[in-house]
């Protein structure tokens, strides 16, 4: 029996009893191969109930014994509409609005269904959305992009102008600074879609911003910051330091996952600022101004800043620190019974590549390294997997990521010690999922 650390906090509707905590049992497999053989042995040993990973025999299963219509008849011709859609059986795979968020006149946030996604790329139609004043489908022939400020020749580009220039394609995550924000206040939202779903990852294509600035004769000595301005009515303007831009990573992007950006993600042009919170990835990008100091715009003065315990604000804290989350099993899901499971999740860091992800099944007492799946890219989602045999007892599953700067993802307790409890933004704490005896998984906090 393990002793779990500290006090367990929970959402009011998901009470975690002391008894649950006491009965969480640890798993200490010796190595993967040994583990797997024992895993399947364990699963086979519980044959009486349907807990093995597959049915033992096909006898009596009409779905394997009888030829279905699709094996004997003629299928359909090429897909119509010509732009393909998911299977009709996948209708539950949707972006969703959080039931816990205040609704304004129109919905302004939709969350990506992380619990149902594989690998690292977010399908464009499931990319999360955050609109400060609604989205637009802008005519690309009328869209203009201007570069001005500390440049020799201010210029206005059309989309055709931009698409003639040398382009790059790179995979990056985007995470809203408010992702997991509800967890600060110990409001454990029910599913990973709502706790972590303001996170997506795409292959972006565009022109490095530094190329455009140099093209306009930028003063790279005096010019220390740029202002990025969006074309929608939200006056979404953000300051971005030239140090990020000079690295060549910041991109004026028109492509997303092999096609043009989706309207809700900024069509026809958005800024891609790898590693930095989503708000700086200005959509419907229409202007870049080069200046010698931070601009302190409205969204930089009152939003996306962190109120610290001493009453001061942490400002320009835009880099999304190292973070991870187990996406299956996660809140709202139910395990089908004892036996083997693939634990899977995502890890990312705004400072570089993921080096390691450890997983705990006992609320953070013992940790074991997960397998990182390739590719492992800088400022990009990394997929991790791990084998697990569930013994049917309550368990608290957590993941803890380390990036290549050596930064280790903190617990919510460690984070609160430094940042207090009054933040909304920049919560990169370890996430805890309680697997109950019934198999139901709930969002809890181990603090
Ligand atoms: N022009 C404009 N750019 C914007 C926003 C906006 O409302 N208008 N929202 C920002 C915020 S807060 C985030 S988190 C990301 C969300 O990008 P997405 O909607 O493509 O997921 O875009 C940023 N860029
Ligand atoms: Mo955001």
Residue 123 Cα to ligand 1 midpoint, Å, equals 17
Cβ neighbours of residue 332 under 8 Å, at least 6 residues apart? 115, 190, 191, 192, 441
Q: How many CB atoms lie within 10 A of CB 171?
A: 18
Same domain membership, residue 413 and residue 299? no
Same domain membership, residue 145 and residue 256? yes
Mark the residues whose beta carbon lies below 5 A from ion ligand 2: 130, 176, 278-279
- Nearest-angstrom CA–CA distance, 173 and 277: 10
Residue 198 Cα to ligand 2 midpoint, Å, equals 8
Same domain membership, residue 276 and residue 351? no
Sheet of 371-372, strands arranged across? 323-328, 339-348, 382-390, 371-372
Select from 271, 293, 314 the last residue of a domain.
314
Same domain membership, residue 344 and residue 305? no
Provide Rg for the chain, Cα atoms: 24
Same domain membership, residue 300 and residue 177? yes
Same domain membership, residue 417 and residue 274? no
Task: Say if residue 70 is exposed, middle or buried (CB neighbours under 10 Å; 0-12, 13-18, 19+).
Answer: exposed
DSSP state of 55: -
Stated pTM of the model? 0.89
Same domain membership, residue 340 and residue 438? yes
- Nearest-angstrom CA–CA distance, 400 and 225: 34
Q: Whose CA is nearest to atom 15 of ligand 1?
A: 278
Residue 270 Cα to ligand 1 midpoint, Å, equals 9
Helix (H) or strand (E) holding 242, with range, is helix 242-246
Same domain membership, residue 258 and residue 161? yes
Q: Is residue 85 part of a domain?
A: no
Select from 274, 295, 314 the last residue of a domain.
314
Same domain membership, residue 290 and residue 147? yes
Six token digits for residue 432: 């805890």
Please report where in the chains the tokens 């005896």 appear, as a residue: 437
Determine the residue of 95, 132, 300 to mutate for testing ligand 1's pocket, defined as the one with the most ligand atoms within 8 A of the Cβ atom. Answer: 132
pLDDT given at position 54:
75
Q: Whose CA is nearest to atom 21 of ligand 1?
A: 129
Please report where in the chains the tokens 């997303």 appear, as a residue: 256
Residue 143 Cα to ligand 1 midpoint, Å, equals 18
How many domains does one find in the chain? 2
Q: ∠ at Cα 227 (225, 233), nearest 5°?
A: 165
Residue 300 Cα to ligand 1 midpoint, Å, equals 14
Q: Is residue 92 part of a domain?
A: no
Q: Whose CA is nearest to atom 24 of ligand 1?
A: 282
Q: Whose CA is nearest to atom 11 of ligand 1?
A: 279
Q: What is the CATH number of the domain that holds 359?
A: 2.60.40.650
Q: Is residue 29 part of a domain?
A: no
Ligand 1: atom nearest CA of 128 is 21
pLDDT given at position 61:
87
Six token digits for residue 104: 């304004």
Kindly identify the ligand whose nearest atom is closest to the C-alpha of 107. 1
- Nearest-angstrom CA–CA distance, 420 and 354: 27
Same domain membership, residue 375 and residue 229? no
Q: Is residue 86 part of a domain?
A: no
Q: Is residue 298 part of a domain?
A: yes
Kindly identify the ligand whose nearest atom is closest to the C-alpha of 129. 1
Residue 16 Cα to ligand 2 midpoint, Å, equals 32
Task: Say if residue 351 is exposed, middle or buried (CB neighbours under 10 Å; 0-12, 13-18, 19+).
Answer: middle
In 3D, which of 166, 189, 179, 139 has the Cα closest to residue 11? 189
Select from 289, 314, 339 the last residue of a domain.
314
Q: What is the CATH number of the domain that holds 161?
A: 3.90.420.10
Cβ neighbours of residue 166 under 8 Å, at least 6 residues apart? 207, 211
- Nearest-angstrom CA–CA distance, 22 and 396: 11
Q: ∠ at Cα 157 (152, 162), nearest 5°?
A: 110
**Residue burial 206-241, b: 16+ Cβ < 10 Å; e: rest:** bbbbbbbbeebebeeeebbbbbbbbbbebebbbbbe
Task: Say if residue 34 is exposed, middle or buried (CB neighbours under 10 Å; 0-12, 13-18, 19+).
Answer: exposed
- Nearest-angstrom CA–CA distance, 437 and 9: 19
Kindly identify the ligand whose nearest atom is closest to the C-alpha of 232. 1
Residue 258 Cα to ligand 1 midpoint, Å, equals 20
3-state secondary structure of 164: helix
- pLDDT tens string, the chain, 447 residues long: the values are 334 444 444 333 332 333 333 333 222 233 444 444 555 555 444 443 444 577 677 778 888 889 999 999 999 999 888 999 999 999 999 999 876 665 566 789 999 999 999 999 999 999 999 999 999 999 999 999 999 999 999 999 999 999 999 999 999 999 999 999 988 887 778 999 999 999 999 999 999 999 999 999 999 999 999 999 999 988 789 999 999 999 999 999 999 999 999 999 999 999 999 999 999 999 999 999 999 999 988 878 777 877 788 888 777 668 999 999 999 999 999 998 999 999 999 999 999 999 999 999 999 999 999 999 999 999 999 999 999 999 999 999 999 999 999 999 999 999 999 988 888 899 999 999 999 999 999 999 987
Could you tell me the residue range of the domain that residue 399 belongs to? 8-20+320-446
Cβ neighbours of residue 253 under 8 Å, at least 6 residues apart? 204, 205, 206, 261, 269, 270, 271, 272
- Nearest-angstrom CA–CA distance, 32 and 386: 9
Q: Is residue 37 part of a domain?
A: no
Q: Is residue 176 part of a domain?
A: yes
Which residues does ligand 1 sit against, CB inside 6 Å? 127-132, 176, 230, 232, 234, 236, 264-266, 278-279, 281-284
Same domain membership, residue 434 and residue 285? no
Among left, alpha and beta (phi > 0; psi -120 to 50; other), residue 186 is left
Q: What are the two backbone dihedrals, phi and then psi, of residue 70, each rounded to the nearest 5 degrees?
A: -70, -10
DSSP per-residue string spanning 348-406: E-TTS-EEEEEEESBSSSS-EEPEEPSP--TTS-EEEEEEEEE-SS-EEEEEEEEETT-
pLDDT given at position 6:
44
- Nearest-angstrom CA–CA distance, 356 and 372: 7
Please report where in the chains the tokens 């004043």 appear, as a residue: 133
Task: Say if residue 90 is exposed, middle or buried (CB neighbours under 10 Å; 0-12, 13-18, 19+).
Answer: exposed
Same domain membership, residue 336 and residue 280? no
Task: Say if residue 84 is exposed, middle or buried (CB neighbours under 10 Å; 0-12, 13-18, 19+).
Answer: exposed
Q: Is residue 108 part of a domain?
A: no
């Amino acid at each position: 029996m393990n002793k779990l650390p500290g006090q367990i906090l929970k959402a009011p509707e998901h009470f975690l009893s002391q008894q649950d905590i006491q009965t969480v049992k640890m798993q200490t497999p010796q190595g993967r191969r040994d583990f797997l053989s024992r895993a399947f042995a364990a699963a086979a040993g519980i044959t009486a109930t349907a807990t093995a990973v597959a049915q033992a025999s096909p006898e009596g299963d009409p779905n394997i014994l009888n030829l279905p219509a699709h094996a004997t008849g003629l299928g359909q011709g090429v897909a119509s509409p010509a732009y393909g859609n998911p299977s009709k059986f996948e209708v539950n795979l949707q972006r969703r609005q959080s039931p816990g968020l205040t609704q304004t006149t129109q919905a302004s946030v939709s969350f990506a269904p992380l619990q149902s996604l594989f690998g690292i790329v977010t399908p464009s139609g499931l990319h999360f959305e955050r609109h400060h004043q609604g989205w637009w489908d802008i005519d690309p022939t009328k869209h203009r992009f201007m570069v001005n400020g500390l440049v020799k020749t201010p210029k206005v580009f059309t989309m055709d102008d931009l698409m003639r220039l040398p382009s790059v394609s790179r995979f990056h995550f985007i995470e809203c600074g408010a992702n997991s924000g509800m967890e600060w206040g110990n409001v454990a939202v029910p599913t990973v879609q709502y706790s972590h779903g303001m996170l997506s990852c795409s292959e972006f294509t565009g022109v490095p911003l530094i190329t455009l600035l140099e093209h306009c004769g930028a003063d790279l000595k005096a010019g220390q910051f740029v202002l990025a301005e969006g074309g929608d009515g939200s006056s979404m303007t953000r300051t971005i330091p030239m140090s990020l831009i000079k690295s060549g990573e910041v991109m004026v992007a028109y492509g997303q996952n092999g096609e043009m950006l989706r309207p809700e993600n900024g069509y026809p042009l958005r800024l891609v600022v790898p590693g930095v919170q989503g708000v700086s990835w200005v959509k419907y990008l229409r202007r870049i101004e080069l200046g010698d100091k931070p601009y302190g715009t409205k969204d930089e003065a009152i939003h996306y800043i962190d109120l610290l315990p001493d009453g001061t604000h942490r400002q320009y804290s835009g880099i999304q620190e190292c973070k991870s989350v187990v996406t299956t099993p996660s809140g709202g899901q139910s395990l089908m019974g004892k036996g083997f499971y693939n634990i899977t999740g995502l890890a990312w860091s705004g400072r570089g590549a993921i080096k390691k992800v450890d997983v705990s099944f006992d609320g953070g007492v013992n940790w074991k390294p997960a397998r990182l799946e390739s590719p492992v890219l800088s400022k990009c989602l990394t997929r991790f997997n791990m084998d697990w045999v569930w013994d049917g007892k309550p368990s608290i599953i957590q993941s803890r990521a380390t990036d290549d700067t050596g930064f280790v993802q903190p617990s919510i307790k460690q984070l609160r010690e430094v940042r207090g409890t009054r933040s909304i933004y920049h919560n990169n704490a370890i996430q805890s999922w309680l697997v109950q005896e019934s198999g139901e998984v709930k969002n809890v906090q181990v603090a």
